[in-house]
Amino acid sequence: MKLITIVGVSGSGKTTVAEALIRAFTAAGLSVASAKSIACGRPGIHRRQAPGLSPHQLTPFTIDTPGSNSYRHRQAGSSLVLTRAATETALLFPQELPLPSLLPLLAPYDYVILEGDYDAPLPRIVTAVDPADAAERITPRAFAVSGQAASRHRHLCGLPAFDVTTPEGASALASLTAQMAAPWPAPATPALSLRDASGHPLPLPESLHQALALALLSANTPLPPGAELTIRLPGEATP
């Protein structure tokens, strides 16, 4: 699973960019999950500081319908409401959940596209109406600009700009996103050790350690958590 986030001022084109990426990835045979942060915080607007939560404005929001049966379940105190219908299944929690707690649910998908999540420590696409909008939201994690401003600029604030309303722009941004999206869980460096034939530890040169770790990661051969890869040098064991 690989993740990115799309941030930008309201009306700048975040959802249009999300749609373009979803279409491009699904057309390539990849599975996509997406998450929309509602009423996201913006520079100059009050942002919640709770760890792991998106900086939403303190605006009441629900996809449920007040007065519906599921709404009444929640009002009565149900900690989790599940609604099932012929065309949709929904889980309704009575509070926002931190993104890390939701990622295992999204793990089966090839890509996860977050729209409006400013606090996720992920590579980001910035959408903007004009260069000033872009500049306010560009961080070291930003790798591209899109939205309305991209129809008038090829580059903004030192980043490439992509007009996803054109097939060429959408395809180019999808290709770059595939390169820049962050894997989850992040690859871990395997624990490696070098021992002689008797099992005694030997110094492991840093260059060899890096080469072996890179080979394992490149071969897509993950080790279980806490596992250690031991290399034994040939020779007779000493008593």
Kindly give the residue spans of alpha helices, DSSP state H, lying in the chain.
14-27, 69-75, 99-106, 131-137, 167-180, 206-218
Distance separating alpha carbons of residues 147 and 76, to the nearest angstrom:
42
User: What's the burial of 101, exposed, middle or buried (CB within 10 Å: 0-12/13-18/19+)?
Assistant: exposed
Residue 2 above 50 pLDDT?
Answer: yes
137-155 pLDDT, tens digit each: 899 999 999 999 998 989 9
For the CA atoms of 174, 176, 177, 181, what is the dihedral angle to 10 degrees? 150
**More confident position, 43 or 8:** 8
For residue 145, what pLDDT is reported?
Answer: 95
Amino acid of residue 204: L
What are all long-range contacts of 190-194, with beta carbons under 8 Å and residues at least 24 apart? 190/216, 190/223, 190/227, 190/228, 190/229, 191/223, 191/226, 191/227, 191/228, 191/229, 192/228, 192/229, 192/230, 192/231, 193/228, 193/229, 193/230, 193/231, 194/230, 194/231, 194/233
For residue 39, what pLDDT is reported?
Answer: 62
Residue 200 above 70 pLDDT?
Answer: yes
Contact 134, 118 (CB under 8 A): no
Q: Model confidence at 60, in pLDDT bands (50, 70, 90)?
A: low
211-233 pLDDT, tens digit each: 565 555 444 455 555 566 666 66
Distance separating alpha carbons of residues 9 and 118, to the nearest angstrom:
11
